[in-house]
Amino acid sequence: MSSIETVDSGSLSTRKKVLSISIIALLFFIFGFTTWINAILIPYFKVACELNNTQSLLVAFAFYIAYLVMAVPAATLLEKVGFKRGIMIGLWIMATGALIFIPAAFSRTYGIFLIGLFSIGTGLAILQPAANTYITILGSKERAAQLMSIMGVFNKTAGIIAPLLLAAAILRPTDNELFKQIPLMDEVTRNGVLDEVIKRVIVPYACTAVVLFLMGLFIRYSVLPEIDTNKENKTEAAVNSEKTSIMQFPHVILGTLAIFLHVGSQVTGINTVIAYAQSINIPLLEAKVFPSYILGVTMFGFLMGIVLIPRFMNHLNVLRICTTSATVLTFVFFIVGGEVTFLGHTSHPSIWILVILGLSNSLMWSTIWPLALDGLGRFTKKGGSVLIMGLCGSALVPIAYGYFADHFSLYHAYWVLLPCYLYLVFYAFRGYKIRKWTL
């Protein structure tokens, strides 16, 4: 890092901070676009590559496991080249992953698609700690959750748009009938149809690769500053004087588990809602909008966070409300019955509980981060990278859901959400305060 010019975040002018936050907001839009597009890929690959529930959820596994596998290399890279160049490299790795979709589509090989998804996840494993740490330290600690909420709006706006755009690019009005006929076709005809279906991803992912490459160039020559995260205030220096490892900060490690369970439960709800909607007799072309409903409700939660934090509520109380309400809603999911018509959909009301859970999930990320990074000082970069490892929960929790869905039902598999939310309640009320490994 010695060859990289760094600045103290407190010395940045208001104009420089606004420009920097705007650039990071653009990155959060990219995170949302490349992440929540998986909600369409999962049911799409399930048909085109003839997969069961567990196999189709390997989309999420391959994408998010990169956060666990690549977190330490990503932290090392950021330490060596800095946030700015690291973000450029991350975007270019993502572009490479998008290009891998082209040979995967021509060969209709699910394993190659998974390699492409892992590559995109690897790029994000570099981008996420840089971007989230930037936002946490660019403003005051009291406004960190508010800035995170603003970033969440960009993330979830992209998440609403992405599934709809990809669905428009790869799905046809006649696909409902076509997908019903595929199992009845002879092998030669079926393979021909599936080859045609899978090749629809080539154009959108080739365009994505070009955009990501150009975005990398833009970041490299932008005004985004290199923030000095090694500087500590007097309190941090005194408390951390004898610390030698990030593992000596229990609230960070417990916060990483909180991130793991939060994102795992959130992604499980979004990535499985289409399949669950189909299981309660909602056709695919109608069901495709439910991920956008969840993300729309989540974005509303972010907007509430921008207004409420810190003027009317502090981020800790917001986290407590979110975690408690998510636990209650999980129980309600299994209690409600009957049939309801809403927004033109007639269905079991439980699917709308999944949508409402988006509101409870909305502000967990933005409130866990400032609590977990509090007081780290020179360990801030390491702390950010460790927290990002928690994103592998988005790989593992959906796989657990898929296992129970295959062995029981799509409905009963949602019990996996309950222990996730119970732990998050613990972190909100007790875990964030633990600063020594003695209770």
User: Which strand (E) or helix (H) includes residue 342?
Assistant: strand 340-342
Tokens of 174: 């006649």
Global confidence as pTM: 0.72
CA distances to 36, 198, 213 from 183, in Å: 28, 16, 40
pLDDT given for residue 352 in this prediction: 94
Rounded distance between C-alpha atoms, residue 290 and residue 13, angstroms: 42
pLDDT in tens, the chain (439 residues): 344 445 455 556 677 778 888 888 888 888 888 877 777 777 788 888 888 877 887 887 888 888 888 887 887 888 788 888 888 999 999 999 999 999 999 988 889 999 999 999 899 888 888 887 777 777 666 666 677 778 878 877 887 788 788 888 887 888 778 878 888 888 889 889 888 888 888 998 999 899 999 999 998 888 777 766 555 555 555 566 677 787 888 999 999 999 999 999 998 998 889 889 988 888 877 888 888 899 889 888 888 888 888 778 888 899 999 999 999 999 999 999 888 888 888 888 999 999 999 999 988 988 898 889 887 777 777 787 788 888 888 878 988 998 899 888 999 999 999 999 999 999 999 999 888 887 5
CATH tag for 9-227+246-433 (out of 3.40.50.10860, 3.40.50.1820, 1.20.1250.20, 3.20.20.210): 1.20.1250.20
pLDDT given for residue 3 in this prediction: 45
Of the candidates 374, 371, 398, 84, the one whose C-alpha atom is nearest the C-alpha of residue 260 is: 398
Asked if 163 contacts 288 with a C-beta cutoff of 8 angstroms, the reply is yes
pLDDT given for residue 20 in this prediction: 83
pLDDT given for residue 160 in this prediction: 75
CA quadruple 74, 78, 80, 85: dihedral sign: positive
Strand boundaries in 105-203, DSSP class E: none
What value, to the nearest 5°, has the Cα angle with vertex 216 and ends 211 and 219? 120
Alpha helices in 37-109 (DSSP H): 38-48, 53-56, 58-107
Looking at residue 7, what DSSP letter applies?
B
Look at residue 246 and give its three-state secondary structure.
helix
pLDDT given for residue 5 in this prediction: 47
Q: Hey, which residues does 335 pair with through a beta bridge?
A: none
Q: What is the domain partition of the chain in residue ranges? A: 9-227+246-433
Asked if 129 contacts 384 with a C-beta cutoff of 8 angstroms, the reply is yes
